[in-house]
Amino acid sequence: MLSRRGFLIGGAAATVAVAGGGLVAVETGALPGRVPIGRRVGDCNVDAAVPDEAAGPLRENEFTSAYRHRPIRWMLALPPGHDVRGLPVALVLHGRGGDARTAFDKVAMHRFLAQHVKRGGRPFALATIDGGTVYWHPRASGDDPLGMLVHELLPRLRAAGLRTERVGALGWSMGGYGALLLARQSHRGRLGGTEVVAASAASPALFASFATASDGAFDGPADFARWGDLLAHPGVSSETILQVSCGSNDTFRWNAERYRAAVHPTPRGDISRGCHDAGYWRSRATAQLAFLGAAL
């Protein structure tokens, strides 16, 4: 594989052509070329082998959501050898373009959960649901995935026998933002009697302003100010334990660092080698489950 040093030396002529400043900009993430270069030199080669342990039951369900005005699929992963009744649960929120299956098809969280329990970790369930592309908050269109979580998913989990008075939240990318938003909503007492005691976000899609947000993530500046500005207003207390991690070659790295600096005490987790991809998220799975298991 081409080394990082070799690649950069090999491109020296192009670097000189932009008076040297271009290289610095790419290295600090200021240019969109950072991620492709990272992939070329191996900075994205971060992954974890999917555990061999046989996973516990993976249940799939569907209902028509009054908050999203469409059929919605939700799934429940149980640890091997444990009945659903009395288990704590973590809500697992997918990234943009994902769905209720993403956590299992791409990240294999049910297998990491089996490994977590086999190694003596606290057993708990993982609940996923279709969240669409609307960043886990109410939208002007009437699509309300947050209302769906609070008023439709949590009651179904409770009816299944799971403990929902204290839950965990976990997510990647858009779902990482969603997990941190749930933690803030919990602190404000807006989850219908449910408390998020721990939230773990990997590669959270956090933005400094509406102008820098992904297209379609927010309806406008007012919507961003209310739901999106977690950097300026994290809105969490020390009662909610946080874990926030991001790859050093991820375009969201700098905002992840800003969020970590804005919260006290500093969230667990770190900024380490990796990119914005499933390999990095698999590499964080063991630590995320251990963190949530201890908190629950």
Q: Residues 225-238: pLDDT tens digits?
A: 999 999 999 999 88
Asked if the model's pLDDT at residue 4 lies above 90, the reply is no
Asked if the model's pLDDT at residue 219 lies above 70, the reply is yes
pLDDT band at 42 (very low <50, low <70, confident <90, very high): confident
Average pLDDT (17-26) is 35
For residue 268, give the 3-state DSSP assignment. Answer: strand
pLDDT band at 40 (very low <50, low <70, confident <90, very high): low
Average pLDDT (115-138) is 97
Average pLDDT (38-64) is 89
Asked if the model's pLDDT at residue 6 lies above 50, the reply is no
* pLDDT value for 30: 38
C-alpha span between 136 and 242 (Å, rounded): 18
Which class for 146: exposed (0-12), middle (13-18), buried (19 or more C-beta within 10 A)? buried
* pLDDT value for 8: 38
Asked if the model's pLDDT at residue 21 lies above 50, the reply is no
DSSP character for 84? S
Give start and end residues of each alpha helix (H) in the chain: 4-10, 12-17, 21-27, 34-41, 102-105, 109-118, 145-148, 154-159, 174-187, 221-223, 253-262, 278-295
pLDDT band at 68 (very low <50, low <70, confident <90, very high): very high
* pLDDT value for 16: 33
* pLDDT value for 141: 97
pLDDT band at 7 (very low <50, low <70, confident <90, very high): very low
Domain ranges of the chain: 4-41, 58-295
Encoded amino acid at 178, one letter: G
Asked if the model's pLDDT at residue 186 lies above 90, the reply is yes
Asked if the model's pLDDT at residue 3 lies above 70, the reply is no
* pLDDT value for 238: 86
| Percent of the chain predicted with pLDDT > 90 | 84
* pLDDT value for 22: 36
C-alpha span between 223 and 210 (Å, rounded): 9
* pLDDT value for 20: 37
Architecture of domain 58-295: 3-Layer(aba) Sandwich (3.40)
pLDDT band at 34 (very low <50, low <70, confident <90, very high): low
- The 10s digit of each residue's pLDDT in 157-182 is 999 999 999 999 999 999 999 999 99
The whole-chain average pLDDT of the chain stands at 89
Q: Residue 274, CB half-sphere, CA atoms under 13 Å: how many?
A: 22
pLDDT band at 19 (very low <50, low <70, confident <90, very high): very low
226, 253 in Cβ contact below 8 A? no
- The 10s digit of each residue's pLDDT in 254-267 is 999 999 999 999 99
